[in-house]
Amino acid sequence: GNQKATRLENSQGKKSQHAEEAIFYMNCRAAYLTVLKSSLENIKSKEQLSLVLQQAGRNPSQKTINKYWTSQTSSLNFDDFCAILRKEKPATKNELLEAFGKIDTDKAGYISHDELCKILTTRGDKMTWEEVTSITKQADFNCNGKLDYNKFCELYLSTREQCCKAARDRLETDPRLRQQHFGNQTENVPEGTTLPLSKHSPRASRKTDHKLAKGDSRAPSRPSSAQSSKASTCTTVTVGARSSRNTKLIIEPDTIKEWQCAQSRGCFYLEENGEIISHKYRLHLPQRSALWITIKPFSIPQAQGKSCHWLSVDTALFILKENETQENLQLVSFTELQNKEMFGWRGELGSGIYWLLPFTTGCRLRKEKTQIPGEAKLVWRDEDGELALTKEFRAALLDIFETIDLDGNGLLSLEEYNFFELRTSGEKCDQEAWAVCKENFEMKKNELTRQGFLDLNLMEANDRDGDPWDLWVTLLSLGYNRALEMTEACPFVIDICAERCKPRIKAISLEAGGSQLSRALCRSVLNKGEAKVLDGSESIFIHTYRSGSRITSVIENKSENKVIIHVNNEQSKNCLNNRGLTVFAVEVAPKSMMVSQHVMALNEQEEWIYSCVHSLV
């Protein structure tokens, strides 16, 4: 009886999960087709991306748009759009009220128009005075020169829902749109589960709902169905305990001390939505030379003796050659040789400009689930009532200084400081503001010292009369938790040694890897990995490559049609992957390739087995 009840409960849970996925992808389709004619048509600009997100009930800031549309982005497809919507959750009423409450210090429920105008025209995505006035003129939430922000939130949420509903209604009433197929869910909706219909939609039978669900949704966490699979292949790799640490890096050149070297630090940062961003670099070689390039997690001197979560994070570096345009980068090689936490490459490169793209799988750098019982104290007042930084906060700031001091000279240049500003506030410090810093904080050679950096943060605390809210915004954006532990970031260091010339490395940007890194990653697996054709299919290939401590699989679709591949890791042992799912599905566009997953050992002290079945639906 208990087993029967458990099976019934599991069945109901799966039905609920499928229903939620169906609703999610119906909303995705509705929003996408409000702006674009077909699911096969790509988003071609930032403006289109902003419009389609708004149709899905999001209100993206420019910072959010820039996060997904980087300098290397030329287009985004429907799959990309669905992934963005999963990450960018719509704001809830409580979140909106909490944001307004931080401005309304009196908790009166109102904000003066003057205060609102000042905030909206000077912070974040700055609005014009005319745009703010158009808001304050709305009678529904305007009260004697003040904004009733509770009513404003209600109007905002209802308008958002009306926008989403209008898109759904259009999808339901347009037969041409309803026939389009999207995403990678091809399993049937469970018995007893029907897709939600608009009030104005025509009557639909269970058969119609069934048809809509088939091929119309993209659930990333769906059990694989053997009955629905046309072709499949299984790949198994057994890795002995700690053998991933026994792959030795080629011994460094005997004459390495005579070579000329360059070094730069950087950091992987985990975004709120789970995406990973990092510094990107340009390498200049004045002449052809033998090279020795390594990357590893950076062991911060001040952090020794503490719990350094990031030291177990895997790192890699992809080397790309710049040709006529930055958009056309060619993969040269990558750091595939491993010695403990260090990955390296040794070879020869001709003169010219190269791009260095850092990479981590995300298997070990992921959102922290552990609840922090308390919050560390950042500031305190001395006997005279003067604010001071706590010992723990000072230590964290000094660790941060080491991380953002990219050239490791013990000083922060304006360029280095601006990477810090972009990460924590989304804005840059210009020359005029830097000159003001020079007048108020300790600098040497026009670069900020450690003491100057500490004093700058103390001034920020004084500006808010000891309120640590802004300081926590900075810390959280840099990967720290409330216990002042860096758990959602991984600082790293890159070393480059050249035999016949002086290499020059320069950090260019701080952003997600984008399409260039994805292509380089796929190409590296195709070049080095083992290829298997899906049994029963001549045009779908699964490429698997083991590089040191990780295994990466890539799906290559040589056919003229998009394909849906179910991925099942249920037979793997002692493994974790970057998706955080045992079973999932992916859609691969025609004539393209994409990463299926990255896999690493859960516990490197024990043997681990990668056993994965890829099935064509």
Q: What is the maximal distance between C-alpha atoms in the chain?
A: 80
What percent of the chain is helix, strand and coil (3-state, nearest 5)?
35, 30, 35
Quote the pLDDT of residue 364: 92
Q: Give 284's pLDDT tier (boundaries 50, 70, 90).
A: very high
Tally of structural domains, the chain? 5
Return the CATH number at 79: 1.10.238
Q: Are 360 and 268 in contact (CB under 8 A)?
A: yes
What is the model's pTM? 0.65
In a domain, 43, yes or no: yes
DSSP codes, 24-55: HHHHHHHHHHHHSS-TTSPB-SHHHHHHHHHH
Which letter does DSSP use for residue 249 in this model?
A: P
Q: Give 37's pLDDT tier (boundaries 50, 70, 90).
A: confident
34: its two tokens: 């409000």
How big is the chain by its Cα radius of gyration, in Å? 27
Quote the pLDDT of residue 178: 45
Average of pLDDT values for 353-358? Answer: 96
Out of 107-111, 210-214, 226-230, 299-303, pick the least confident: 210-214
Sign of CA pseudo-dihedral 143, 152, 97, 128? negative
Sign of CA pseudo-dihedral 19, 23, 28, 33? positive
Quote the pLDDT of residue 546: 92
Which has the higher per-residue pLDDT, 423 or 117?
Answer: 423
Q: Give which of 493, 541, 508, 491 is closest to 320, Cα–Cα.
A: 508
Same domain, 141 and 241: no
Same domain, 53 and 117: no
591: its two tokens: 């004539």
Out of 386-400, 438-452, 581-595, pick the least confident: 581-595
Cα(151)–Cα(147) distance, rounded to whole angstroms? 9
Angle at alpha carbon of residue 164, lines to 17 and 193, rounded to 5°: 25
Out of 38-47, 140-149, 530-539, pick the least confident: 140-149
Same domain, 265 and 362: yes
pLDDT in tens, 423-448: 998 889 999 999 999 999 999 999 99
In a domain, 204, yes or no: no
Domain boundary among 51, 70, 90: 90
Given the structure tokens 């347009």, which residue do they identify?
174
Out of 86-90, 300-304, 368-372, 514-518, pick the least confident: 300-304
Which has the higher per-residue pLDDT, 414 or 251?
Answer: 414
Same domain, 135 and 63: no
Write down the mean pLDDT value for the chain.
82
Quote the pLDDT of residue 556: 95
Quote the pLDDT of residue 117: 79
Domain boundary among 65, 90, 115: 90
In a domain, 605, yes or no: yes
In a domain, 223, yes or no: no
Quote the pLDDT of residue 416: 97
Return the CATH number at 288: 2.60.120.380
Burial degree of 348 (CB within 10 A; 0-12, 13-18, 19+)? exposed
Cα(617)–Cα(232) distance, rounded to whole angstroms? 9
Q: Express as a percent the part of the chain with pLDDT over 90.
A: 44
Torsion angles phi and psi, residue 504, rounded to 5: -125, 125
Quote the pLDDT of residue 254: 80
In a domain, 172, yes or no: no
Instruction: Give me the residues paired with residue 278 across strands.
Output: 268, 511
Cα(556)–Cα(519) distance, rounded to whole angstroms? 12
Annotate 144-169 with b (16+ C-beta within 10 A) or e (fewer). eebbbbeebbeebbeebeeebbebbe
Q: Give 5's pLDDT tier (boundaries 50, 70, 90).
A: low
Annotate 3-16 with b (16+ C-beta within 10 A) or e (fewer). eeeeeeeeeeeeee
Average of pLDDT values for 511-524? Answer: 92
Quote the pLDDT of residue 247: 54
Instruction: Give me the residues paired with residue 551 across strands.
Output: 546, 599
Q: Express as a percent the part of the chain with pLDDT over 70.
A: 82
Has residue 134 got a pLDDT over 90? no
DSSP codes, 566-591: EEE-TT-BSEEETT--SEEEEEE-TT
Same domain, 590 and 551: yes
In a domain, 374, yes or no: no
Quote the pLDDT of residue 300: 82
In a domain, 397, yes or no: yes
Average of pLDDT values for 159-173? Answer: 78
Same domain, 135 and 147: yes
Cα–Cα distances in angstroms (integers) from residue 89 to residues 55, 83, 85, 585, 599, in the given order? 13, 11, 7, 22, 27
Average of pLDDT values for 529-533? Answer: 94
Same domain, 507 and 362: yes
Quote the pLDDT of residue 239: 86
Q: Give 200's pLDDT tier (boundaries 50, 70, 90).
A: very low
* Non-local CB neighbours of 614 within 8 Å, separated by 6+ positions: 232, 233, 234, 235, 534, 542, 553, 555, 565, 566, 567, 596
Domain boundary among 90, 115, 136: 90
CA 375 to chain centre: 26
In a domain, 417, yes or no: yes
Give the other-Cβ count within 10 Å of 564's Cβ: 20
Out of 175-184, 328-337, 523-532, pick the least confident: 175-184
Quote the pLDDT of residue 560: 92
Average of pLDDT values for 148-160? Answer: 83
Using DSSP's 3-state secondary structure scheme, residue 435 falls into helix
Same domain, 39 and 97: no
Annotate 417-453 with b (16+ C-beta within 10 A) or e (fewer). bbbbbbbbbbeebeeeebeebeeebebeeebbbbebb
Instruction: Give me the residues paired with residue 545 across strands.
Output: 552
Q: Are 342 and 251 in contact (CB under 8 A)?
A: no
Same domain, 383 and 363: no
Quote the pLDDT of residue 174: 62
Quote the pLDDT of residue 497: 96
Same domain, 82 and 97: no
Angle of the 450-463 helix axis to the 469-477 helix axis, nearest 10: 130
Burial degree of 126 (CB within 10 A; 0-12, 13-18, 19+)? exposed
Quote the pLDDT of residue 207: 30
Angle of the 93-103 helix axis to the 149-173 helix axis, nearest 10: 150
pLDDT in tens, 477-490: 999 999 999 999 99
Which has the higher per-residue pLDDT, 304 or 307?
Answer: 307
Same domain, 42 and 104: no
Same domain, 16 and 29: yes
pLDDT in tens, 568-591: 999 999 999 998 888 888 889 999
Task: Tell me the residue range of the domain where 41 lies.
Answer: 1-90
Q: Are 181 and 216 in contact (CB under 8 A)?
A: yes
Quote the pLDDT of residue 27: 84
Has residue 454 got a pLDDT over 80? yes
Quote the pLDDT of residue 191: 31
